[in-house]
A and B are shown apart, each in its own frame.
Chain A
């Protein structure tokens, strides 16, 4: 006879019971990640790869300090990862906000006007294929200064998904809704706030969510052009030039973690504003 998993009250209440029943949720990711780290450790220790082993992040003095003291501040660029990240995040926030504003505005325009869309679509499709690193020299020539150039690189990397998704969202407004607006002779302003924005919102958020990841990805490219400034991107670049391989690995893991958190935050916001999508 097949045992039927009966939801018994006591096993429901105990945390251990919950942990056992939800094991299919947490066990595979744990095994996958653990296995990966174990393999990495073995390969490093046997000398197959030159990368330091994950355990060395804790045994090595430099990286251990960075892991355990994210808030230290010894002046200049010698600061903890928290401060490095904060500097990078504020840079990303500026470029990303700019990308969101311009992307949504331009996206709505080309979504509403097919002629303008036809005029610029080839250009947009071309520009969005240019890698963040390729924008660096262009940005430097364009702005001459490091700070605006870095923000421009983030902006130009992040704008395309926002722009293209917003335009698609506007194009996808059902004809029925447009007809309602027509028969009621709604003012453009009312159409914009009551029909267009709510209808396109799920698409806009899809764009915003893709872009927050891209903006964060562009941070290394952006900060390479800013030698001597605080930031996680330059931190990695600096570590590479001074051959602190452990710091590079730590920096990359740190960047990945922050990117994951940003993506989750955006997903939560998306779910909060337009649930069910």
Chain B
């Protein structure tokens, strides 16, 4: 996807402000106070994200990926600079920036369906009960959970929990979907299935996605751009790599594309040579 076409997408999506970028990280920095003095996690992060873009963030542990996304969701506030959505600084969490939490964060005393409906009830209380029901079932169907809708969270597998979490997040129609290593704990087959489902849903809903991953292949399959972070302390964006395979994507086609290995090697080189983790 070229820059021009994604700008078109922003206009088509009816964004109110065309002069400022959809999501803007401006001179962003985060410092945590520690007993040994202030510890700078992120420094001088600048990035513009277009509406409807799929962004993956990659980097070694402790490079502040989660902190970066927490400042979009509003769970953390910047120490310097700001994160602007439609040109307005983000101050607190809100349903326009829904999070798929790392540990799923589903309420275990409820069924899959009840978890999704609770989110819709909280965010869109004006809809009729029938409408809320339909939206919940529609999104559970998208992630293939129609049959398991009335199962209790404690009775379903990790992959199914992640599906419920995604259904819950998308059911409230967020502008930005934030995923913190969503598929890290899943087996390879479930992971591939879920990646494809996520892409399919994203293709229909066209929300902006920010996703943390540790998996280069996952990023190459999903993202429009891959943001590669330098190592902490005082981490920043080392390089932003555009991944312009045509969409809708097909895993086999992409892997046959010679550019796939070019991009993959570039990412590997960044992570393991230029910014290798000095864990010695």
Give the interface of A toward B (CB within 8 A): 174, 176-177, 179-180, 182-187, 190, 194-195, 198-199, 274, 276
The main secondary structure of chain A at its interface with chain B is: helix
In whole angstroms, how far apart are the Cα atoms of A239 and B172 in the complex? 69
The main secondary structure of chain B at its interface with chain A is: loop
In whole angstroms, how far apart are the Cα atoms of A198 and B107 in the complex? 9
Closest to A201 in B: B109
Stretch at the interface among B19-27, B60-68, B119-127: B119-127
Residues of A within 8 A of B172 (CB): 184
Give the interface of B toward A (CB within 8 A): 73-75, 92-95, 97-99, 101, 103, 105, 107, 109-110, 118-119, 121-123, 154, 172
In whole angstroms, how far apart are the Cα atoms of A181 and B93 in the complex? 10
- Known interface pairs A177-B107, A194-B107, A198-B107; A183-B95 also in contact (CB < 8 Å): yes
In whole angstroms, how far apart are the Cα atoms of A274 and B48 in the complex? 48
The one of B93, B110, B121 that contacts A182, using a Cβ cutoff of 8 Å: B93
Would you call A184 and B101 a contact (CB within 8 A)? no
Would you call B109 and A183 a contact (CB within 8 A)? no
Would you call A184 and B103 a contact (CB within 8 A)? no
In whole angstroms, how far apart are the Cα atoms of A179 and B107 in the complex? 12
The one of B73, B92, B97, B122 that contacts A186, using a Cβ cutoff of 8 Å: B122
Would you call B93 and A194 a contact (CB within 8 A)? no
- Known interface pairs A179-B93, A276-B154; A185-B107 also in contact (CB < 8 Å): no
Residues of A within 8 A of B94 (CB): 183, 185
- Known interface pairs A183-B94, A185-B93; A190-B122 also in contact (CB < 8 Å): yes
Residues of A within 8 A of B105 (CB): 174, 176-177, 179-180
Residues of B within 8 A of A187 (CB): 122
In whole angstroms, how far apart are the Cα atoms of A7 and B191 in the complex? 44
In whole angstroms, how far apart are the Cα atoms of A187 and B97 in the complex? 18
